[in-house]
Amino acid sequence: MASCILFLLPLIFFSSLSSAAGPHALVAPLTKDSRTLQYLTRINQRTPSITLNLAVDLGGRYLWVDCDSSYISSTYRPARCHSSLCSLAGSDSCGECFSSPRPGCNNNTCGVFPENPFIRTSTSGELAVDALSLHSTDGSTPSTPVTDPAFLFTCAPRFLTRGLAVGAVGIAGLGRTRVAPPTQLAAKFSFSRRFALCLPSTPRASGALFFGPGPYNFLPGIDASQSLLYTPLLTNPVSTAGTYSPGEPSYEYFIGVTAIKVGDTVLPLNKTLLTINKKTGYGGTKISTAVPYTTLETSIYKSLTSAFAAALANVTRVAAVAPFKLCYDAKGLGSTRVGPGVPAVDLVLQSKAVFWSIFGANSMVEARDGVLCLAFVDGGRTPRTSIVIGGFQLEDNLVEFDLDSSRVGFSASLLFRRTTCSNFNFTSSA
């Protein structure tokens, strides 16, 4: 039986690789969970197919699901030790399971380390393949679902779903590995290795996650893939994962912030904190959906809050609402097309001309009725990464990760273009 599976797997793998006229791109919805502030996506898996709710972890290594809770599928196959699937996932370990065989518990399978960044826990899991399907898209609406009959993922124990939004059964890790969905789907369906996130700013309407090239159209006919600004993706040579092998790089998305401005004021910052220390992996800036608000090393945080407070010296401050420290009476702040009227926070990138501007809608959060707080949090004195750009700052911005060109494109607030991430037309045209 085992040898039969061994011979069958490569066949399935290659037949899906060579499928002609594949989809142009794929799309899945993104929702915001109001209780945990996690962003969730929906993907279909197994035979017969069921819909999975998965939390999105931008820098995660693989897609993993809880296989302890009645995993039923006729197309589930564990990855046999030392097979090509194991090497694709970077696993050379070989595991046994001392209970009756079922998905997640097989002998002679390679082990991997699924991680839940929301509770900072990783554990061992079984590498496996199963059918996975997503809607194809021309960039405007979802159309026919397409299926990868042997999508490589990780089976994790149920306890790893602790801390996830109600209904979430695993995590879609979108990191820079060969097996995370962006690269795996691009290889299977022959489109370019890029994907784009457009996170919703409200729990009431879905944003969109695209795999493959643009256009990325939002009603009324705004292509958010146009006029993106690009910045190089940087490599952190030291893994930031919970479990890793020596010499393994980080699979997260690092970019090079070189300065921060509040309005026209350049913040005094310790520049060492802004660069990645190649030996220790400390420092630098990454983008993450595992934190709800941008998290800054303490001295950067203090520099930002004092410049912001000075710029808003005339506005009535009110008692802080944790975890925020700088809060205002909303009545004192005007309102603009891009949210509360406050100075922009600019993350200056590879040159003075390339900066990521964060306007009121992405810098001020209504922490309590009538109270708007600066939506950045203090990450402590010695965080691994000095600046972690979090979910709130990404909402209603389209962010494209182009892995072939190692760059990140960002749109600035779509509110400027009179649309939002919740305006993708999810009415299927198929």
CB of 6 to ligand NAG, least distance (A): 16
Q: Which is nearer to ligand NAG, 231 or 419 (CB)?
A: 419
**Integer-rounded Cα radius of gyration of the chain:** 22
**CB of residue 322 to ligand NAG, shortest distance in Å:** 26
Q: Read off φ and ψ for residue 363, nearest 5 degrees.
A: -115, -20
Instruction: For ligand NAG, give the closer residue by CB, 16 or 137.
Output: 137
Q: How far apart are CA 157 and CA 52, in angstroms?
A: 16
- Least distance between ligand NAG and beta carbon 204 (Å): 18
- Closest CB to ligand NAG among residues 19, 429: 429
Cα 23 to the chain's mean position, in Å? 22
Q: In sequence order, which ranges of 229-326 are alpha helices (DSSP H)?
A: 298-311
User: How many residues are present in the chain?
Assistant: 430
The residue (of 96 and 329) whose beta carbon lies closer to ligand NAG is 96
By beta-carbon proximity to ligand NAG, the closer residue of 335 and 429 is 429
- Closer residue to ligand NAG in complex, CB, 119/310: 310
CB of 76 to ligand NAG, least distance (A): 14
Which residue's CB is nearer to ligand NAG, number 269 or number 412?
269
Q: Which residue is nearest to ligand NAG (CB)?
A: 429
Query: Residue 314 Cβ, how far from ligand NAG at the closest point, in Å?
Result: 4
Tell me how far apart the alpha carbons of residues 124 and 156 are, in angstroms, rounded to a whole number: 7
Q: Least distance from C-beta 100 to ligand NAG, angstroms?
A: 6
Helix (H) or strand (E) holding 88: helix 84-88
Cα distances (angstroms) measured from residue 380 to each of 116, 289, 370: 21, 19, 28
Which residues have a Cβ under 8 Å from the Cβ of 204 and sit 6 or more positions away? Answer: none
CB of 33 vs ligand NAG, minimal distance in Å: 26
Q: Which is nearer to ligand NAG, 108 or 190 (CB)?
A: 108
CB 168 within 8 A of CB 41: no
Residue 331 burial class via C-beta count within 10 angstroms: exposed 0-12, middle 13-18, buried 19 and up: exposed
**Contacts to ligand NAG by CB under 6 A:** 96-98, 101, 105-107, 141, 219, 270, 272-273, 314, 425, 427, 429
Q: Give whichever of 69 and 270 is closer to ligand NAG, judged by the CB atom.
A: 270
Four-CA torsion 312, 266, 263, 420, nearest 10 degrees:
-110
Count other C-beta atoms under 10 Å from residue 245's C-beta: 11
Residue among 270 and 335 whose Cβ is closer to ligand NAG:
270
Q: Which residue has the tokens 């194991």?
A: 86
Min. distance of Cβ 136 from ligand NAG in angstroms? 13
Sign of the Cα torsion 83, 85, 87, 89 reads negative
Question: How do strand 125-137 and strand 253-255 relate by DSSP bridges?
Answer: unpaired
Helix (H, G, I), strand (E, B) or coil at 48: coil
- Rounded CA separation 282/383 (Å): 8
Shortest CB 315 distance to ligand NAG, Å: 8
Query: Residue 323 corresponds to which tokens in the numbers above?
Result: 């975890």
What residues pair up with 164 in beta bridges, in sequence order?
Answer: none
Give the nearest distance from C-beta 219 to ligand NAG in angstroms: 5
**Which amino acid type is present at position 243?**
T
100: exposed, middle or buried (Cβ count in 10 Å: 0-12, 13-18, 19+): exposed
Minimum separation from the CB atom of position 328 to ligand NAG (A): 13
Choice between 37 and 318, CB closer to ligand NAG:
318
